[in-house]
């Protein structure tokens, strides 16, 4: 018996991920209709209903199977281009966080706060507490305010990494010597997990990403406590 999150996508946590899920369902329905039509034609031809030479060689049929695929591609391309532009759009972010990939951990720098930064290592299996997820928990989570535009600046210190959080619809490569950026808005409070999605070495699967979205007042309390500890 399947459990939640074992089949299909995780629940969307950002407007961008909601758009991606809608596009997935849209494209999947088109694929289903195409497969049904092709299967019907094959079955009809096997039963000799479409083997008439006048039908197979007609100009009308050739026009249909030329124009129809073009229309289908347009139906897929238009929403896809819309999402691509939405993913690149960054308007007035409330918070900017620089994320640096290392072998094999992440470090975070809150550029809007002086000297606020930390490293995030995976918690070993033997140190996990009940309720924590194996290979997904980190000793320091990236805390963000909910319903606020967040900009992530992604880079790497050594090799290629990829900062990925599926439920937020975010996946950005971390390239040494290059600064990439991505933006998102967490639409609900929660803890969201991801992993490095680039094969970056022997411990590639042991550098999780943990994002904790909290209300703004809790985020301000957290930043104050972190700055006092520095």
Q: Which residue has the tokens 């009940």?
A: 130
The residue from 88, 114, 139 where one domain ends is 88
pLDDT at 55 over 70: no
What is the residue range of 29's domain? 15-88
Q: Please tell me whether residues 153 and 194 are part of one structural domain.
A: yes
pLDDT band at 1 (very low <50, low <70, confident <90, very high): very low
In a domain, 4, yes or no: no
**pLDDT > 90: what percent of the chain?**
61
CA distances from 174 to 9, 154, 162 (A): 24, 5, 5
183-194, pLDDT tens digit by residue? 999 999 999 999
In a domain, 5, yes or no: no
Q: Please tell me whether residues 134 and 188 are part of one structural domain.
A: yes
Report pTM.
0.82
Q: Which residue has the higher pLDDT, 152 or 40?
A: 152
In a domain, 62, yes or no: yes
Q: Please tell me whether residues 55 and 111 are part of one structural domain.
A: no
Number of structural domains the chain divides into: 2
- Buried (b) or exposed (e) across 189-206, using 16+ Cβ within 10 A? eeebbbbbbbebeeebee
Cis status, amide bond into 104, omega within 30 of 0: yes
22-38, pLDDT tens digit by residue? 999 999 999 999 999 88
């Amino acid at each position: 018996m399947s459990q939640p999150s074992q089949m299909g996508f995780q629940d969307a946590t950002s407007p961008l991920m909601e758009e991606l899920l809608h596009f997935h369902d849209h494209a999947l329905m088109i694929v289903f209709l195409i497969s049904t039509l092709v299967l019907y034609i094959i079955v009809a031809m096997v039963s000799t209903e479409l083997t008439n030479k006048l039908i197979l060689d007609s100009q009308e049929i050739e026009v249909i199977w030329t124009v129809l695929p073009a229309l289908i591609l347009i139906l897929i391309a238009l929403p896809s281009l819309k999402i691509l532009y939405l993913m690149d759009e960054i308007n007035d972010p409330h918070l900017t966080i620089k994320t640096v990939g290392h072998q094999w951990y992440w470090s975070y720098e809150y550029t809007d706060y002086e000297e606020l930064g930390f490293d995030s290592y995976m918690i070993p299996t033997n140190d996990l507490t009940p309720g924590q997820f194996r290979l997904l928990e980190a000793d320091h989570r990236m805390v963000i305010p909910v319903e606020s535009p967040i900009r992530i600046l992604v880079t790497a210190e050594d090799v290629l990494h990829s900062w990925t959080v599926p439920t937020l619809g975010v996946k950005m490569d971390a390239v040494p010597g290059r600064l990439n950026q991505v933006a998102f808005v967490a639409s609900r409070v929660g803890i969201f997990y991801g992993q490095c999605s680039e094969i970056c070495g022997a411990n590639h699967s042991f550098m999780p990403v943990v994002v904790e979205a909290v209300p703004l007042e809790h985020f301000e309390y957290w930043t104050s406590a972190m700055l006092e500890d520095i």
